[in-house]
Every structure is written in C-alpha cells, then in structure tokens.
C-alpha cells in the first residue's frame, strides 16, 4: 500500500517518520499531476504547498484547530490529507469542488475563492473562540499575491490588538499570484528572500541540528536566534513587527521538518504571529516549473508527460479583446490598461508588450484599480479596467462613488461574465448587470459575436461622457450573426457614434412575440424563436443599459415579450424593460429568463443551463404556456 493510500485523515500523518513523509510528498505530487491532467484545475498552486500542508496537519489538529486557505484553489493537498482522494470528477457535477466545501468535509470552513479574506475570517473566529475560552488554534494560509489586497492589511492592522489569542498567519510566499507578484510588498519580500542573512541562518540552523543529532533539514528560526545570542544571522524584518505582530522566517516551505519546527515555535507565543514560508509554485513538475507565465496556475486537460493541452484553446472572447484593445490603443494615446493581478488571463499581455508604460497591474486590489482609474480619467486618460466579472463585486463602491459620481470616462471590461460553471458559486460572473444597472450614468454593452464585440469596445472607449462597461463570456466565440435591420438609437443620451439596436431574426405570422436577447444569449434566442409559432422577432440591443427607446417601442407593440440574459433575473435587463414599458403606458406581458437569485453549485456551463431551464426547448415550452394563458384570458375577457 502506498503512503497516500494509508491516509484516511490527518491523524495518520502523525505516525509517519521523516522518510515516510518525504515519500508521501512525492506520491501526492504524482497524484496531482496524473489526476488534474485528466480533469483540469489549479495544478501549480497545489504542487507548491505539498510539504506546507503536510506540516500544518502534523502540527495542528484539524478540525479542532481551524485551517483557512485564502483563495482556496490551493486546497487540493488539504483535501487529500482529509480523506478526499477521488479526484476523478474534480470540478464536475457530483465531484469534488475545486475549492474548500463545507458540504464535503468538516475540515473546510471558508468556501469563497475571492482572495485576501482569510486573515479577516481567522481574526473573527479567533476573537470569539478566545472570548469563550476555547484553546484551539486558528491558522490562516495566505499567499504573497493575496497580501497585495487591501483587505488583508486591514485585518493585519486590527489583529495586533488581540494579543494573547491563538492566531497564526502563514504567508505562502512563492513570488506569484497568477504572474509574478508586483508592487512594494513584492519587492520587500523579495529582499527578505534574497538576503544573504537568510542563507546564513539556514546554514547555521542545519549545523546546530547536526551537532545535536536532530533529524531533518531545518532552517534556523531567526526570531529565536536573538535568544540564542546569534545576532549576526538575524534576518531584518521591520514591516510586520512595526504593526505589532510577531514574525518568524523565512523558512523553507519545502522542508517538512523546518516547517514543523516553525509551527511548534509559533504555538509557544500565545499571541498572533506570522510565519513566512518560501515555496515554489509548480514544484516538482518540470512543465510547470518552466512555465514563466503562471507556473500552470490553472490548466485544462493536459498530457501529463509534457504539460501540453489535449485540446488547444480555441479563438475566444479574451483573444478578441486582446487584439482589439491593442488596435484601439495604437490610435488613441489616452488608452491605459488597468488590471488586478490578471494581466495575461484578461488579455492585456499584447498591449503591455507593445506599450509597457500603458498597462498597470495593481495586484489583487480591484478597489484600487477602479479608484485609480477615476483619477487617471480626471487627468486626461481613458483607462480600460479589465477584470473577471465576479471580481468587480469587490469594487462596486468605487464604480458608484469614484467613477460614476464624477462622470469619469472609464471603460470596465468584464471577462467571464455570466455562467462559468466549473469553479463554482464564487466564480460565476452573474451579478454584474443587476449591480451595475443601479449605477447612474453607467452604460452597459453585451456583444453577441466577434464583430459586435469589436464595435462595442470601440464605441465604449470613444465615449467621453461618462463610464462604460462591456461584458463578455468565457470560452470560444460562435459564428457571426448578421443583422436583418436596425432600429433607431438614443442619440440624445449616448451620442451619434453608437450603432442602433439590431433585429437579427424575424419570421411567421400570427401572435407577435418579441425576444430581447442580451449578448451571448442571442444565439439561444434565435434557436428558441425557431421553435415558436406566430410573428417572432429577435432583437439584440447591443447597449443593454440604458435600453434604446426603439427597443421599448418594439416590445410595446408585441403581444408578448421574452427577455433572455446571462445574469440575474432580479434587477436585470428584463426587469428594466418591464419598468420602461409600464412607464410608457405599454401593458405588455413580459416573461424573463435568466439566472435565479441563488448560488450555483459547480458543474459545466451546459449542465447549469439545462438545470436552470435555459435551453431553447425549455424556453419555448415555457413561452407556449404563457401564450396559452394569454389566449385563455383573452377569451374570458371577450
């Protein structure tokens, strides 16, 4: 039986020797490469925390001691060590989540996968436990990339006031988030990591252990070095201690014995302490180690021997954005790209390569990105803030009070808008339209295909009257959808440079049905329309907030209006159209299809759409029911 097969829970780890633990770490890495290559998932981060996670579960007693993983994509090893060893359906419906999940295990606490939150969680738990006399430890594991988020520093600021509590913060420092970590914090940690004193401390510690006959390769704990009188090997670390929080490290994050030594010492303090562990993202897997872009942060299905994708990525929405924003920037010097630790995933790499001074990565700090963009717009630039749709939630206040209130010409581009699926509840980009439709003056566009995407992006970046937002989904782009005719545009509120809404499908005679489709749901609307009787019209508004008067007029003359959107039904485009129709005196029934107000479990996008009834047959069936009800009501009225 392999060492991994022997693990049914953390308890088995405590009975293993140092040699067995090294063997276990190797088996875990092999298992991760073999399994994740078949399903896709976050490979690089987990390869980097194997020894760290083993040491945590050796020194602490989960779930009695609570371990919180910030940005939980680094929790695969934790899952294995807590008895979850079937990765055959990882991130698939019915299989393990790609993040911690309370439904899976009592060892999991925080399910959301938005970064920089773990320290706040840990502080909250620790405060209440301490007040109740609970002696359990609370451990927050946070990456150096997540430390670029302001929320982490807000928590660090208040943690210093709760001395005496059993709170331990492990900084998993691999010098990267997706790409290399940026900013002053990164420079500071890099200076600590490369300080010659670190190597002297490491060598001194090994000699001390060897002379005392102690096993393992263990780094010298610099903080305790003062007590030993070895001041010449102390690694200077003013940052955290200035905040009033004890610090120890750096420690080799791939040396289990060294980590255990650091954790054991930390438990002696009885007050909050930071342990600085140096790790390597993608450790032990050559293709990941050689990947300078993101160390295989997240992969699809790959060949485990080479790391090459089984199915090469198709030309998708992000690629179109990358091409078009570069073309726009070449002719408009005002364009400045801004992103939050996701320069390559959102498509800014080509722009940065050609114009290195015109792309700014602020780290995992969406609030700063949007707030800074407002200032840049005031100074004469036209910032383009590109983030995943789910992460804009974190900067809503800045969109509202910094950008919109000041009518700042900022364009926000939301990648992976709508249902994304595999990464679960926290990654579906389903909240943006409902949230942002509340923002006065913000105009929202949703392209249906490549051609409309390029056009809408150009219209958004050329509009100087206030903020604009362009949202688009994850994955490949479908075929071009030609317009049959155009309606009139609201030139009084949005300038004359914006193309009018377009009718993309018309057919039949009889009851009049108008389908108003938002962005990526236009193909679904056309497919649905072909299943419906009567005179059916499908219109693509392009700019969905505010809706053009011509769209409201077209809908107002129909017998039934159907809206389809890849976002929340509550507060979405359908809700807005219903209000506009009522305000204009059109008493037309409106049936809205979209995403209900609930968190969606992880599954493929196709499976989620089927579950929600967002397929052409299901929508057509529901529409026919509404038509029959309307016809029955009409007969009663007669």
Q: Which residues are catalytic?
A: 281, 366, 394
The number of angstroms, rounded, from the C-alpha of 24 to the middle of its chain's C-alpha atoms is: 31
Q: How far is CA 403 from CA 82, 317, 368, 611, in A?
A: 46, 26, 12, 37
Nearest to 481 by CA among 521, 530, 535: 521
The string of DSSP letters for 63-107 reads TTSEEEESSGGG-HHHHHHTT----TTTTSTTS--SS--TTT-TT
Rounded to an integer, what distance in angstroms lies between the CA atom of residue 406 and that of residue 565? 29
Q: Which residue has the tokens 């294995």?
A: 80
Q: In this structure, are strands 443-445 and 543-545 parallel, antiparallel, or unpaired?
A: antiparallel
Q: Which residues pair with 172 in a beta bridge?
A: 143, 277
Q: Strand order of the sheet with strand 382-388?
A: 359-361, 335-339, 382-388, 411-415, 468-471, 443-445, 543-545
Q: Which residues pair with 468 in a beta bridge?
A: 411, 443
* Other residues' Cβ atoms within 10 Å of the Cβ of residue 523: 17
| Cβ contact 104:145 at 8 Å | no
The number of angstroms, rounded, from the C-alpha of 378 to the middle of its chain's C-alpha atoms is: 29
Nearest to 142 by CA among 270, 240, 218: 240
Q: What do you get for the CA distance between the two ends of the chain, in Å?
A: 79
Q: Do you know the residue count of the chain? A: 638
| Cβ contact 134:157 at 8 Å | no
Largest CA distance in the chain: 101
């Amino acid at each position: 039986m392999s060492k991994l097969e022997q693990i049914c829970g953390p308890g088995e780890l405590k009975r293993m020797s140092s040699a067995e633990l090294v063997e276990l770490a190797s088996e875990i890495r092999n298992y991760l490469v073999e399994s994740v290559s078949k399903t896709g998932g976050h490979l690089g981060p987990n390869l980097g925390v194997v020894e760290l996670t083993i040491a945590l579960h050796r020194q602490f007693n989960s779930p009695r001691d609570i371990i919180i993983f910030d940005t939980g994509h680094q929790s695969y090893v934790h899952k294995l060590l807590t008895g979850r060893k079937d990765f055959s359906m990882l991130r698939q419906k019915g299989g393990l989540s790609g993040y911690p999940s309370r439904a899976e295990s009592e060892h999991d606490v925080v399910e959301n996968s938005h970064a920089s939150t773990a320290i706040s969680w840990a502080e909250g738990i620790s405060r209440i436990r301490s007040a109740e006399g609970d002696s359990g430890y609370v451990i927050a594991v946070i990456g150096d990339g997540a430390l670029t988020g302001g929320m982490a520093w807000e928590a660090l600021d208040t943690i210093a006031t709760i001395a005496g509590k059993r709170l331990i913060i492990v900084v998993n420092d691999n010098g990267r988030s997706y790409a290399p970590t940026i900013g002053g914090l990164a420079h500071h940690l890099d200076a600590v990591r490369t300080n010659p004193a670190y190597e002297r401390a490491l060598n001194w510690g090994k000699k001390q252990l060897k002379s005392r006959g102690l096993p393992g390769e263990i780094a010298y704990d610099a903080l305790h070095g003062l007590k030993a009188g070895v001041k010449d090997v102390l690694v200077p670390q003013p940052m955290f201690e200035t905040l009033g929080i004890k610090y120890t490290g750096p420690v080799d994050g791939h040396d289990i014995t060294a980590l255990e030594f650091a954790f054991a010492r930390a438990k002696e303090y009885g007050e909050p302490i930071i342990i600085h562990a140096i790790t390597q993202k993608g450790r032990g897997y050559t293709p990941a180690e050689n990947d300078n872009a993101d160390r295989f942060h997240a992969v699809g299905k790959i060949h485990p021997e080479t790391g090459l994708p089984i199915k090469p990525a198709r030309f998708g929405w992000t690629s179109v954005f990358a091409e078009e924003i570069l073309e726009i920037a070449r002719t408009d010097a005002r364009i400045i790209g801004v992103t939050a630790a996701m320069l390559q995933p959102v498509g800014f790499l080509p722009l940065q390569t050609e114009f290195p001074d015109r792309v700014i990565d602020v780290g995992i700090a969406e609030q700063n990105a949007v707030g800074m963009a407002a200032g840049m717009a005031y100074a004469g630039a036209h910032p383009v803030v590109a983030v995943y749709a789910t992460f804009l939630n974190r900067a809503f206040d800045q969109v509202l009070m910094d950008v919109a209130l000041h009518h700042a010409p900022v364009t926000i581009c939301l990648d992976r808008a709508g249902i994304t699926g595999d990464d679960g509840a926290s990654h579906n980009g389903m909240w943006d339209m409902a949230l942002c439709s509340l923002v006065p003056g913000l105009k929202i566009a949703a392209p249906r295909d490549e051609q409309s995407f390029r056009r809408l992006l150009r219209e958004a970046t050329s509009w100087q009257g206030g903020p604009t937002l362009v949202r688009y989904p994850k994955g490949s782009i479908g075929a071009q959808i030609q317009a049959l005719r155009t309606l009139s545009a609201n030139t009084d509120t949005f300038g004359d440079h914006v193309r009018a809404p377009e009718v993309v499908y018309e057919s039949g005679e009889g009851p009049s049905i108008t389908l108003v489709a938002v962005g990526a749901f236009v193909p679904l609307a056309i497919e649905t329309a072909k299943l419906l009787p009567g005179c059916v019209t499908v219109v693509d508004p392009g700019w969905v907030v505010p809706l053009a008067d011509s769209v409201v007029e077209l809908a107002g003359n129909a017998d039934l209006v159907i809206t389809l959107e890849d976002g929340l039904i509550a507060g979405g485009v359908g809700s807005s159209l219903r209000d506009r129709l009522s305000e204009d005196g059109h008493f037309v029934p409106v049936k809205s299809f979209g995403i209900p107000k609930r968190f969606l479990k992880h599954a493929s996008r196709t499976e989620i759409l089927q579950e929600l009834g967002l397929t052409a047959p299901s929508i057509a069936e529901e529409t026919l029911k509404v038509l029959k009800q309307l016809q029955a009501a009409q007969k009663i009225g007669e």
